Amino acid sequence: MKNKHIMTGLLLLGLTLVAGFFSGREFLSLRRNDEIFPGSGLTARKRLSDYFPALKDTAGDTEVFIFDSAAQGGNLLILGGTHPNEPAGFMTAILLAETIRAARGKAVIIPWANASGFTHSDPQEGSPQRFFIETPTGRRWFRLGSRVTNPVHQWPDPTIYTNPMGQKLAGIEARNLNRAYPGKATGNLTEKVAFAIMALIRKEGIDLGIDLHESAPEYPVINAIVFHENASELAAIAQMELQAEGFEFRLEASPPNLRGLTHREWGDAAGIKAVLLETPNASHGRLKGRPTVSLIVDGKDKYYERASRLGRLFVPYGPEGIPLKLRVARHLAGVQAILASLHELEPDETIELANIPSPAEVQSKGIGLFLHPALK
């Protein structure tokens, strides 16, 4: 009898070890970086630590892609992956890095702004760790991370987090890159990343910064251009342009009392025109059903459909869903409209990017046709 209990115990222990081995291996695989294949327009490939050496060899360091035309013009910063669970943001940044060439001015692209956030996923959410995009030669896989920095890299959270601008927030926000600006050289890892991005803005002489996000369909700031007051005219003209192209965007002024965000501190601390774009992503909303790769890529969810019928959402959500290709198309259209608007308002700061995939084609044919094809 006693032996039987020991055997059961050993068997359970063995099964736990096997399960732990496989789930541990899966979890650790998130630390392998995705690869980007920049086009021939790339003029320099740097790392964030080149602007703030204390970041070197930390989980906060990340890749920086520079496309410099050498022709007089303005300087643009595009950020994806401030929130690694908002795929349209970083996929747009990756798509741009793999396609564009600067014809005037300079573009600096950081696709994985919070690199640490890509190395884990949110506990108890059941989110897939990766999703794929079909390319002509096969699938390309991309990591999906968490909204915040990995606690393995920054721990513990304070009970109340006071950010570099003195705003008091819930403890977990200590790991939210979009609350950490203008950063702190001696701060936590997330604040150091924000500090490095501010250093890059100054070193590269950035005039315009665009931070690419997504939000849940039940969140009021959605399909939106959030703008710093430095960029109010810029955003208003861009909105009209977008409307003419059939993309509805609402304008949201950056609230002056909400501190630590890109659209506030980039403008206040570095004086640049700062905007943030939001598209609707069901896969990180609270009302979603099962989070799957298909929900991320196809964006169909019957619970969101139902919520939309009940009038609970801030965007229309039909049975066709809101696919990633549409969300990326919206971001691309947003970037183009903002650049056109900049050209109109500040001709000296014109930034001309060639080869940006057309939003209409991305929307109809998908992202995979424009990305670097999957390696065999």
State which residue, 81 or 357, has the beta carbon closest to Zn ion.
81
Task: From 83-91, 120-128, 194-202, 368-376, give the range in contact with Zn ion by CB under 5 A.
Answer: 83-91
Q: Does 83 bind Zn ion (CB under 5 A)?
A: yes
Shortest approach of Zn ion to residue 22 CB, angstroms?
A: 31
Give 286-289's long-range contacts (Cβ < 8 A, gap of 24+): 286/216, 286/218, 287/216, 287/217, 287/218, 287/312
86 or 191: CB nearest Zn ion: 86
Contact status, residue 256 vs residue 264, Cβ threshold 8 Å? yes
> How far, in Å, CA of 70 to CA of 347, rounded?
16
When computed from its CA atoms, the radius of gyration of the chain, rounded to whole angstroms, is: 21
Contact stretch for Zn ion (CB under 5 A) within 60-68, 69-77, 81-89, 319-327: 81-89
Please state, in angstroms and rounded to a whole number, the distance separating the CA atoms of residues 313 and 73. Answer: 41
- How near is the Cβ of 178 to Zn ion at its closest, in Å? 6
DSSP structure string for 74-132: -EEEEE--SSTT-HHHHHHHHHHHHH-EEEESEEEEES-SSGGGGG---TTS---SEEE
Selected range binding Zn ion among 38-46, 80-88, 121-129, 262-270, rule: CB under 5 A: 80-88
Number of residues that bind Zn ion (CB under 5 A): 3
Site string for Zn ion, 211-230 (x = CB under 5 A): --x-----------------
* Interactions with Zn ion, residue window 154-213 (CB under 5 A): 213
Least distance CB 88 / Zn ion (angstroms):
10
Closest distance of CB 346 from Zn ion, Å: 27
Q: How far is the CB of 213 from Zn ion (least distance, A)?
A: 3
Residues forming contacts to Zn ion in the complex (CB under 5 A) are 83, 86, 213
